[in-house]
Amino acid sequence: MFDLVTGHTRHIPSHNAVPLLFSSMAEAVVIAAAVAVPLLFIADRVPEVPSIVAFVTAAPPPPPPPPPAPRAAAQQKGIAATAAAIPTTAPSEITPEPSRVPVDDGVPGGVEGGIPGGIVGGIAGGAIDAPPPPPPPPPAAPQRPVRIGGEITAPALLTRVEPEYPRLAVASNVSGVVILEATVNTNGEVSDVRVLRSVHMLLDAEAIKAVKQWRYSPLTLNGLKCPFVLTVTLSFALKPAA
């Protein structure tokens, strides 16, 4: 209290510092020993890990063999049926054997399971039917008319009808030359007429009417009748007055 009043502080020396230091060091040594000793024992018991581990697998077994052919099984069944058909006990009485239907044993070189009476080296599956007849030829396309000229000459004109001169055309003093194109069919008949050069409506109509009544002998090319086209010229001229 007096120190506080006067303003001077007096330090009292401590005599407990040295024992406290030694006590702390001893505790640290004990803790370090408690931690290190278990670690030494654990390190001795840890197993060693191999550096390389290899696994070798065995090769797969080979595939099973294929099953036997059905024919061998059928033969075995036939053998079993034959063995079962053999009697094992003596009959009590003798009976005549039943009549057997004659069986054709076939011919040498035949095929197993074939038909009796077949042909050696025949065709598998039976005889082949006769091939169907060839289809009929397509109908001939209609022939186009042949134009008369050059090496093709016009057939003979069998019937010729002269056109009439219309009275109205005569009164009108109309004259000239009319050129027509006529198409003749295979029978020699004029089937169509077309005007190539016109003079007057009256003269054109009379020229067409007359030419449609003409008849020609048929045109034959390579042994076949063929339609043709030709040019017809008709002249309308007035007679001079007397």
- DSSP annotation of 180: E
pLDDT of residue 116 exceeding 70: no
pLDDT of residue 219 exceeding 80: yes
Counting other chains too, the contacts that 130-135 makes at CB distance below 8 Å and 24 or more residues apart are none
The pTM for the full model equals: 0.42
pLDDT per position as a tens digit, 150-197:
888 889 999 999 999 999 999 999 999 999 999 999 999 999 999 999
- DSSP annotation of 126: S
Q: Strand runs (DSSP E) across the chain, as ranges?
A: 146-147, 157-159, 176-184, 190-197, 215-216, 219-221, 224-226, 228-236
Domain spanning 146-236: CATH 3.30.2420.10: yes
Q: What per-residue confidence (pLDDT) applies to 10?
A: 52
Higher pLDDT, 204 or 117: 204
Higher pLDDT, 89 or 168: 168
Position 106 confidence tier, pLDDT thresholds 50, 70, 90: low
Position 216 confidence tier, pLDDT thresholds 50, 70, 90: very high
pLDDT exceeding 70 applies to what percent of the chain?
A: 57
Q: Is 114 exposed, middle or buried (0-12, 13-18, 19+ CB in 10 A)?
A: middle
Tell me which of 37-46, 132-141, 146-155 is least confident.
Answer: 37-46
Q: Where are the domains of the chain?
A: 146-236
Higher pLDDT, 79 or 213: 213
